[in-house]
Amino acid sequence: MRNYLGRMILLVEDYDKAFEFYHRNFGFGKIFELTTDVGQRFLHIGSGATGEAGIWFLQAEGKVQQSRIGNQVGEQPAMVIYTSNLTELYQQLQENGVKIKTAPVITPGYSFLHCYDLYGNEIVVVEMA
């Protein structure tokens, strides 16, 4: 038996704006997209194939879900994104106007920064040595 991580769910206001943010800043692509006959949209994004881990956007419905956009995890980071070049990505994030919480921290074993997505979800970006 093999078990593996599939998707993390992220509440969003707008599918297309959320996709544009993650595509422009992290290079993520659409790995699954479907709109049902009743108009329900499914949009999964990520850096790999359909079977790899990714983000599943769900449009928030109702006051409770809408109040949790950008704060699904109680002021803790919502996700970790790995990169092969933190310095280059940091420059790109700055050029794109992404809000940075913690500038890059460099250690012998890893480097990281913290930033926010368009809704205020905190993202930890890590480069392993």
Q: What is the pLDDT tens value at each position of the chain, 129 positions in all?
A: 988 889 999 999 999 999 999 999 999 999 999 999 999 999 999 998 777 899 999 999 999 999 999 999 999 999 999 999 999 999 999 999 999 999 999 999 999 999 999 999 999 999 999
Q: Give the model's pLDDT for residue 121.
A: 98
Q: Are 53 and 7 in contact (CB under 8 A)?
A: yes
What lies within 8 Å, CB to CB, of 36 at 6+ separation is 42
Q: Give the model's pLDDT for residue 2.
A: 87
Q: Give the model's pLDDT for residue 54.
A: 96
Q: Give the model's pLDDT for residue 96.
A: 98
Q: Give the model's pLDDT for residue 48.
A: 84
User: What does pTM read for this prediction?
Assistant: 0.94
CATH no., domain 7-128: 3.10.180.10
Q: Give the model's pLDDT for residue 51.
A: 76
Q: Give the model's pLDDT for residue 57.
A: 98
**Domain limits of the chain?**
7-128
